[in-house]
């Protein structure tokens, strides 16, 4: 079993952390490889960043297909490019927000999300609606740390923990979701601090892929998610291809 | 890793099929045991059957806790007793309807459910609403076979296959869910026939448990799903206990 | 006209209170009888309690059918066993949560619910969703009194009243619903205290039954709520029957 | 107990039918009086008709208050003027659409509505949404008879019956609602023909009023439905008053 | 291009303000005329006021049709009589609440509404639901000024501004809607004060009409909004006509 | 007034048609310029195409800002890049799907969408949900013509017209939306054929921009849609900038 984890931003130190979190949960027979695209933003903190991350993500999905990976994870909480990636890939493609919300929903009636900057909470709500989590998602809260500060700010863990406590108290949720791939390594510590299950978004998605593959399941290809009609892309994107 | 699968009906031949399906997907290090309760209905085809199945299910959850299982699966598409089981169990408890719908949702925009008797479709819709699948679930269709006929009727596979084809054509779905634990062994064959992914409900739930356990996740216990206050149950139910 | 009120718990002192409240609103030509099942929990404060209450409720519905009652009330705010009871009974079966929410909805734009323990608020929200009251139900609030303390705690009425005042102030509702059959005798007093209509859940359900019977209406039996297929229930539940 | 039923149109023969249906279900101690306003349309078949019916309805509510009625019924399936009437009246005001939908919802999972002209189905859906019946209401079907033809067309009963059969077959509902006060006298006959419960809209509303009055319940008056601030209305409406 | 703006209340000073706001945004080739009906309330602050405003509005729509206006605006935030007016008019009819909410929705993820008296917030929520704005509308807040005090109270602008600031802080919205035609002249000032876009409800509706007319669009007339069947209205309303 | 219309695909003949449609409705004082990006797909018929169209769109928005345009239109029915464009632009950015759905909603209770390939209908439903049009949008129908065949296939107009007639008959809608910018020039003809209003998506968006600009309104910038934090984009996207 070979799972490719795409960190949609170009910060390889974060990619390394993500890979470590993914490998920590993958079974012994599972090969996990995390990459950053060669193009795109160093962190995703706006719709603009997300839009510019997508072509690089899709290039990595394309490469993954050529490398015969069994499935992909897209490791950014906005689940960027997920629909397009599902068109390209033969195996399952799992976004970390979708996987984490679905895992959290199995653990109780409601969950809270703590994410980075306030400007990204709208996107998280969009996804909650899309995934049918409008009621299960009790709140999306920003801790006001930029994505890369999760790594560099010595107070990051404390700040996220406090945001979690505030969220729990306000929302009355059963579980927490830390809404950024860069927070994956904080989950165990924070869960111990706050006393509720904390879903590691990277782990949740990484574990979803082999489950689907074991069942022989992949994206349904009879309609919307069939391989896109091949065409020639212009300008900088010349060279993009759906693999045909 | 020890997973207990509770088949809520008392038909042990069906329990054996369920166990085989569950073991077929569980990893080598995972012990899977399927049981039927000692009390309850031979099949679940009404709200009444479901109600009478629940005490037996809860007894098995109780036993599972005493046996230190890591997690439970409730293997009936009505997800009977799920909330109560989550109160009792320390580890995750996963219903096959919930697991299957969440798996199907990751594989496309919409799925169709084919189930047994028409009278059970209302319950399936209830669950679809509860799990946030009102939009993703495109249709719930009965094949009009009683549960136990799935095993005894030589035409069962053909009848279910035809119901799947009708459902796909009517709903325009990307994937299928076979909404009865007793259909689990038909999935591979039907998927080959109809050309779309078919979610095996038993497999989907069985694989969800070790994923959650690996992440250290279990039902959130800070509120609604805390162990119930201990009390003395009267009459036939004397002897029931929340384990305290 | 003969109405049977089933108090799903086994505490007969509470059954007596419920019967008094029901009789207080029933017309002179209406016979009202309240009972507790011979098996089940002394109070319902968890999903587990509710699950174990259901077989006893259904036994009482069965007996009611043999006694030719015109309709049944299920007098616990979780409306336990309602769907199954509707399958069994020829006449209408009314849950107190459903009846009370529908009555409250006719009295204004929004209502608040005050119930007992916080762990039961999730179930109340489930019902609000199921009954189409997601918008009309403005809040579900716990007063943190166990069910049986409503009777034994001399401060119960004051505590519930305060919870009502907090709820009104927070929710801006037009009316109140006291979400426990054990609070039925507090309604008049609390309504006078807080100055808004307070729906007595037992009365609301008790009055719904003769209205339906007068109109010649009962549960529709052409599909989901037809009498369940007869089968033999195993173990402790041997002897349960759908009456056929 | 004195219940005033306002037929919002000015066709007194229809008012007489409505009064008969209402009296047929009211208890012996209940006085029921049906009236038509002195101004307005002879039948309500458009938003325009409905708008012009409302001032006359409100005049009758005003008169009812002066006559100390205990509660009002508004007997048109569009529930015209209901919010305004609730502001004016001290006792409960019940619309026939609201009462009928709430009664039908207690009798099964879903109901179908058969109404008069196709152009009125939009209004019925509006009400279904408003009353939280978006899921319970499975279909709104026109039989394409004008309101007054219900009385004059000798085929009316057959036409409505056929529309009911088509609706049941298409919607798979448990019960029927005949969505026009002028159909109230057809319910028993049609129910016998089609074999499912048929809610008599006039009866449903008429029986709701004494239930609420018996419980001491009326519209909540602390906010939106308080008596309107008194003011002087200009032109033709000079003389309208909120009773102050 | 000739646009008729109907101020549903009879306070001509407010009509003059509305006309000025409408003309300020209409293009040079557009004739704008605002009127008050000859019957109805001096201000609309209850469902009762709104109901009594509607016949006068419809008379003005009728007159507008005879005067061959290209489209109508109904300038009260409850959008009174909108459906009926759409039946009468050949050209588009635009309500200020609908137009303003749709404009606000294009400017961000969520908007807040500040309106006059608290008792009118329910109607605003009704409209938000009807127009699909349940999620986009983040809050409806009363400033507790009666409609006519907007003109007479020297503190009106300050009071509305403070309500806006409170609303923004509570709701986290991107934009504001001032939910009363009488607030139209405050928008520019308040927008400057609070630093977010403030939608002028009168302007939004006034500008929608010529856009629709330019595209050759008007209310769809094939069903619900066809010209109402002509009939004779009784009493005070004798003389009302759908124009036939 | 200067409006820039971005056709997200690189087919300049289609851009010319779009520009003609936009200019046909823009007032005399309004300058309209339509462009295609220098990179991206020749037509948008998949999530993949859409994803690859977005960087080019954003480059054009950036250029538009430097050219001091007053507002932008994104002229593809998937509204690609809309959120990101709103972050970049100081003035309003309007998507043709959003504008057309909002216009259609003002013209009746429900509209139908006819679009190109079946695989794009999912995206249209996504947008309908996002814009609050889940109820107003009665159906999304494919005519099974590829985007560029709209121009090259001599039967295109007939095929689209037939799809419209089928949609109307199935959905019972009041109005039609032609869900592709390449269909803009067919609207008038098809409206005449089918006898219902047909919303020209390009015109609807083009007319929304000057309305907003006239009111002094633009995207709210206090949160989610503030200018994105500037950062350095890697690889092919080096050179992208938020303009700071």
Q: Which residues of E touch D142 (CB under 8 A)?
A: none
Q: Which residues of F touch D124 (CB under 8 A)?
A: none
Domain at F2-95+205-237: CATH code: 3.40.50.12500
CATH fold of E2-95+203-226: Rossmann fold (3.40.50)
Give the SS3 label for residue E243. coil
Q: Is the pLDDT of residue C244 over 60?
A: no
For residue B198, the surrounding DSSP H or E stretch is: strand B198-199
Residue ranges for chain B with pLDDT beneath 50: 244
Measure the CA–CA gap between E160 and F157, rounded to whole angstroms. 52
Q: Is the pLDDT of residue E244 over 60?
A: no
Residue ranges for chain A with pLDDT beneath 70: 243-244
Q: Per the structure block, which two tokens stand in for A236?
A: 């900088």
Class level of CATH domain A97-202: alpha beta
CB F153 within 8 A of CB F136: no
Cβ neighbours of E227 (radius 10 Å) = 15
Q: How confident is the model at residue C243 (pLDDT cuts 50, 70, 90)?
A: low
End-to-end distance of chain C based on CA atoms, in angstroms? 24
pLDDT score, position B243: 61
Q: What subunits touch chain E, counting only 3 or more CB pairs under 8 A?
A: A, C, D, F
Cβ contacts of D224 within 8 Å, gap of 6 or more? C108, C109, C174, D83, E47, E118, E119, E120, E121, E122, E123
CB A176 within 8 A of CB A196: yes
Supply the DSSP symbol for E40: B
Radius of gyration, CA atoms only, chain E: 17
Q: Which residues of E touch D232 (CB under 8 A)?
A: 42
Alpha-carbon distance F84 to nearest alpha carbon in chain A (angstroms): 4
Taking an 8 Å Cβ-Cβ cutoff, which residues of chain B contact chain D? Answer: 122, 125, 129
Interface-testing mutation among C105, C109, C134, with chain E (most E C-beta atoms within 10 A): C109
Alpha-carbon distance E102 to nearest alpha carbon in chain A (angstroms): 19
Characterize the bridge pairing of strands E2-6 and E71-74: parallel
pLDDT score, position A27: 85
CB D196 within 8 A of CB C222: yes
State whether E109 and A122 contact (CB < 8 Å): yes
In chain E, the residue whose alpha carbon lies closest to the alpha carbon of F73 is E106
Where do runs of H (alpha helix) occur along chain F? 12-25, 47-66, 82-88, 96-105, 121-130, 149-152, 156-171, 187-194, 201-214
Interface-testing mutation among C115, C236, C238, C244, with chain B (most B C-beta atoms within 10 A): C236
Residue found under tokens 């490398």? A67
Length of chain F: 244
CB E147 within 8 A of CB E182: yes
pLDDT score, position D242: 79
State whether C236 and B55 contact (CB < 8 Å): yes
pLDDT score, position E239: 87
Measure the CA–CA gap between B44 and B180, rounded to whole angstroms. 10
pLDDT score, position B132: 97
Q: Which residues of E touch F92 (CB under 8 A)?
A: 106-107
Q: Which residues of A touch E135 (CB under 8 A)?
A: 129
Say whether D97-201 and D2-95+203-237 share the same fold.
yes
Q: Per the structure block, which two tokens stand in for C200?
A: 């007595």
Measure the CA–CA gap between B38 and B219, rounded to whole angstroms. 26
pLDDT score, position B28: 86
**Per-residue model confidence as pLDDT tens digits over F100-159:** 999 999 999 999 999 999 999 999 999 999 999 999 999 999 999 999 999 999 999 999
Burial label, E124 (beta-carbon count in 10 A; 0-12, 13-18, 19+): buried
State whether E51 and D48 contact (CB < 8 Å): no
Q: Per the structure block, which two tokens stand in for C217?
A: 């209406």
Handedness of CA A119, F91, E128, D173 (dihedral sign): negative
CB D211 within 8 A of CB D99: no
State whether A129 and E109 contact (CB < 8 Å): no
What does pLDDT average to over chain E?
96
Q: Per the structure block, which two tokens stand in for E217?
A: 């669009």
CB F73 within 8 A of CB F205: yes
**Per-residue model confidence as pLDDT tens digits over B177-187:** 999 999 999 99
Among C10, C48, C88, beta carbon nearest to B87: C48
Length of chain E: 244
End-to-end distance of chain E based on CA atoms, in angstroms? 24
Alpha-carbon distance D94 to nearest alpha carbon in chain C (angstroms): 7
pLDDT score, position A243: 61
Q: Per the structure block, which two tokens stand in for D120?
A: 């009125």
pLDDT score, position E27: 85
pLDDT score, position B27: 85
Residue found under tokens 């048609």? F17
Q: How confident is the model at residue C242 (pLDDT cuts 50, 70, 90)?
A: confident
Measure the CA–CA gap between E94 and E115, rounded to whole angstroms. 19
pLDDT score, position A28: 86
Q: What subunits touch chain F, counting only 3 or more CB pairs under 8 A?
A: A, B, D, E
Mean pLDDT for C162-176 is: 97
Q: How confident is the model at residue C233 (pLDDT cuts 50, 70, 90)?
A: very high
Among A46, A51, A235, beta carbon nearest to F39: A235
> Could you tell me the maximum CA-CA distance found in chain A, to the nearest angstrom?
53
Q: Is the pLDDT of residue F169 over 80?
A: yes
Alpha-carbon distance D122 to nearest alpha carbon in chain F (angstroms): 7
**Any idea where the domains of chain F sit in the sequence?**
2-95+205-237, 97-202
> Could you tell me the maximum CA-CA distance found in chain C, to the nearest angstrom?
53
Domain at A2-95+203-237: CATH code: 3.40.50.12500
**Per-residue model confidence as pLDDT tens digits over F88-99:** 999 999 999 999
Supply the DSSP symbol for F118: G
In chain F, the residue whose alpha carbon lies closest to the alpha carbon of D122 is F109
Q: Per the structure block, which two tokens stand in for D77?
A: 């399936």
Supply the DSSP symbol for A40: B
Task: Give one word for F108, left, alpha or beta, with left for phi > 0 and alpha for psi -120 to 50.
Answer: left
Interface-testing mutation among C48, C89, C228, with chain B (most B C-beta atoms within 10 A): C48
In chain A, % of residues over pLDDT 90: 95
Q: Per the structure block, which two tokens stand in for B172?
A: 């325009």
Q: Per the structure block, which two tokens stand in for F165?
A: 């007639």
Upper half-sphere CA count for residue F215 (Cβ side, 13 Å): 33
DSSP string covering chain B: -EEEEE-SSS-HHHHHHHHHHHHHHS-TT-EEEEE--SSB-SS--SHHHHHHHHHHHHHHHHHHHHTT-SEEEE-STT-TTHHHHHHH-SS-EEEHHHHHHHHHHTTSS-EEEEES-GGGHHHHHHHHHHTT-TTTEEEEEE----TTHHHH-TTHHHHHHHHHHHHHHHH--SEEEE-SGGGGGGHHHHHHHHSS-EE-HHHHHHHHHHHHHHTT-----SSTTSPPPP-PPBGGGBTB----
Where do runs of H (alpha helix) occur along E26-155? 47-66, 82-88, 96-105, 121-130, 149-152
Alpha-carbon distance D133 to nearest alpha carbon in chain E (angstroms): 14
pLDDT score, position A242: 80
3-state DSSP helix/strand/coil % of chain C, to nearest 5: 45, 15, 35
State whether A107 and B203 contact (CB < 8 Å): no
Alpha-carbon distance C205 to nearest alpha carbon in chain D (angstroms): 10
In chain D, the residue whose alpha carbon lies closest to the alpha carbon of C22 is D215
For residue B211, the surrounding DSSP H or E stretch is: helix B201-214
Q: Is the pLDDT of residue E241 over 70?
A: yes
**Listed residue (C98, C94, C104) closest to C136, CA to CA:** C104
Mean pLDDT for C32-60 is: 97
In chain C, % of residues over pLDDT 90: 95
End-to-end distance of chain A based on CA atoms, in angstroms? 24
Measure the CA–CA gap between E154 and E156, rounded to whole angstroms. 6
State whether B129 and D135 contact (CB < 8 Å): yes
Q: Is the pLDDT of residue F244 over 60?
A: no
pLDDT tens-digit profile, chain D (244 residues): 999 999 999 999 999 999 999 999 998 889 999 999 999 999 999 999 999 999 999 999 999 999 999 999 999 999 999 999 999 999 999 999 999 999 999 999 999 999 999 999 999 999 999 999 999 999 999 999 999 999 999 999 999 999 999 999 999 999 999 999 999 999 999 999 999 999 999 999 999 999 999 999 999 999 999 999 999 999 989 889 876 4
Q: Per the structure block, which two tokens stand in for F19?
A: 């520009």
Q: Per the structure block, which two tokens stand in for B150?
A: 């799935």
**Per-residue model confidence as pLDDT tens digits over D42-90:** 999 999 999 999 999 999 999 999 999 999 999 999 999 999 999 999 9
CATH number of this structure's domain B97-201, picked from the four choices 3.30.70.1450, 3.40.50.10140, 3.40.50.12500, 3.30.70.930: 3.40.50.12500
């Amino acid at each position: 079993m070979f799972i490719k984890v795409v960190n949609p931003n170009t910060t390889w130190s974060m990619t390394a952390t993500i890979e470590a979190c993914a490998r920590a949960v993958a079974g012994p027979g599972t090969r996990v490889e995390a990459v950053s695209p060669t193009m795109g933003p160093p962190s995703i903190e706006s719709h603009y960043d997300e839009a510019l991350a997508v072509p690089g993500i899709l290039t990595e999905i394309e490469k993954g297909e050529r490398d015969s990976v069994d499935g992909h994870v897209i490791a950014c909480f906005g689940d960027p490019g997920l629909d397009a990636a599902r068109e390209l890939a033969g195996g399952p493609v799992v976004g970390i927000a979708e996987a984490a919300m679905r895992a959290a929903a199995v653990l109780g009636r409601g969950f809270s999300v703590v994410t980075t900057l306030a400007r990204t909470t709208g996107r998280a709500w969009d996804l909650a609606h899309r995934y049918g989590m409008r009621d299960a998602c009790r709140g999306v809260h920003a801790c006001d740390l930029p994505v890369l500060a999760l790594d560099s700010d010595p107070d990051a863990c404390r700040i996220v923990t406090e945001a979690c406590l505030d969220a729990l108290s306000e929302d009355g949720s059963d579980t927490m979701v830390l809404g950024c791939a860069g927070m994956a390594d904080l989950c165990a510590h924070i869960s111990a601090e706050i006393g509720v299950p904390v879903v590691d978004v990277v782990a949740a998605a990484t574990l979803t892929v082999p489950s689907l593959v074991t069942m022989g399941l992949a994206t349904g290809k009879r309609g919307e998610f069939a391989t896109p009609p091949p065409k020639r892309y212009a300008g900088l994107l010349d060279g993009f291809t759906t693999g045909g």
